[in-house]
Amino acid sequence: MPRIGVAATADFGADVLERLADRHEIAFLLTRPDRPAGRGRQTTPPPAKVVAERLGIPVLQPDWPAEAELDADSIVLVAYGALIPRELLERHDWLNVHPSLLPRWRGAAPVERAIMAGDEETGVTVIRLAEELDAGPIGAQEAFAIRPDDDAGAVYARAAELAPDLLEAATSFTPQEGEATYAEKIGPADRELDWSRPAKELHDRIRALSPHIGARGEVEGRRLIVWRSRLDGDRLELLEVQPEGGKPMSYDAWLRGLRS
């Protein structure tokens, strides 16, 4: 692959950017503008920008991608967070790294939706970017297992490891086959834990939203974010929680504090 540009914003994109920089000259990072984040709503750079600045890669942050001058023939897009307009698709060769086995789980939250659905396998797909969401032809694809206690962070990390080799393998492209499913963006309702549901379903929801979003539920009359759990037969055991306004801690430590 020649000198390339990268379009990335989120943590997964930042991880892939760093791995690509070990192998290729990166002409620029195209990323989303800094946004307010956290309790204090302080203006915060995207994770991919933090990596690019550390590596000395030029950063472009237009409000709209078409506003940027993109000096590269090939651009790798991964977790960028905005649609690329037709004029840019026609001007450059765009390759997209998507962490699922397309056409399964097109859309914004493929890893989270795969885990929440109880999928035992996912993967990484490199496609040529098209106007229709995640529908471009496939250049390379590799599957891997989702282990019973893998959270979203572990799955994203495995996908990022595979991305550089798959990009180099993507030399010919074939249309996607099979029925597409869609991974909608995670919303507030997706985070809520309904304790009447089966233990495995709850465990899958918790690990799907860890370590970056967090599932939420009421425990002992208190609202908690639940970060980690495990299954003991048909019983769900909570391992790590975070009380409102507090820091993450073991569930046992939280119970001791509650009862002291």
Query: How does pLDDT run along the chain (260 residues), one tens digit per residue?
Result: 568 999 999 999 999 999 999 999 999 999 999 988 766 678 999 999 999 999 999 999 999 998 888 999 899 999 999 999 999 999 999 999 999 999 999 999 999 999 999 999 999 999 999 999 999 999 999 999 999 999 999 999 999 999 999 999 999 999 999 999 999 999 999 999 999 999 999 999 999 999 999 999 999 999 999 999 999 999 999 999 999 889 999 999 999 988 76
186-202 burial, b at 16+ Cβ within 10 Å, e below that, comes to beeebbebeeeeebeeb
Same domain, 42 and 166: yes
The token duo for 190 is 């997706």
Strands 35-37 and 42-44: antiparallel
Q: Which domain holds residue 193?
A: 188-259
The token duo for 78 is 């991964």
Same domain, 153 and 221: no
DSSP for 101-137 reads -TTTTEES-HHHHHHHTT-SEEEEEEEE--SSTT-SP
Q: CATH number for the domain including 87?
A: 3.40.50.170
Q: What is the pLDDT of residue 73?
A: 85
Q: What is the pLDDT of residue 259?
A: 76
Q: What is the pLDDT of residue 3?
A: 81
Q: 157, 15 in Cβ contact below 8 A?
A: yes
Same domain, 113 and 224: no
Same domain, 39 and 163: yes
Return the CA Rg of the chain.
20
Q: What is the pLDDT of residue 26?
A: 97
Strands 106-107 and 182-183: parallel
Structural domain ending residue among the three candidates 160, 182, 204: 182
Structural domain ending residue among the three candidates 151, 182, 213: 182
- Tell me how far apart the alpha carbons of residues 108 and 183 are, in angstroms, rounded to a whole number: 6
Same domain, 69 and 48: yes
- How far, in Å, are 13, 97, 140, 181 from residue 177 at the CA level? 26, 18, 14, 12
Same domain, 77 and 106: yes
Same domain, 51 and 149: yes
Same domain, 133 and 203: no
pTM above threshold 0.75: yes
Task: Write the CB contacts of 145 (distance below 8 Å, at least 6 apart in sequence).
Answer: 120, 121
Q: 22, 4 in Cβ contact below 8 A?
A: no
Q: What is the pLDDT of residue 36?
A: 84
Same domain, 178 and 193: no
For the chain, the straight-line distance linking the first and the last C-alpha, in angstroms and rounded, comes to: 61
The beta-carbon contacts of 237-245 under 8 Å, at least 24 apart in sequence, are 242/214
- How far, in Å, are 4, 34, 173 from residue 92 at the CA level? 10, 25, 16
Q: CATH number for the domain including 238?
A: 3.10.25.10
- A 10 A CB-CB count for 90 gives 8
Same domain, 169 and 193: no
Same domain, 143 and 216: no
Q: What is the pLDDT of residue 1?
A: 55
Structural domain ending residue among the three candidates 135, 159, 182: 182
For the four alpha carbons of 112, 109, 161 and 125, in that order, the dihedral sign comes to positive
- Containing H/E element for 161? helix 152-169
Tally of structural domains, the chain: 2
- Tell me how far apart the alpha carbons of residues 215 and 187 are, in angstroms, rounded to a whole number: 11
Same domain, 27 and 101: yes
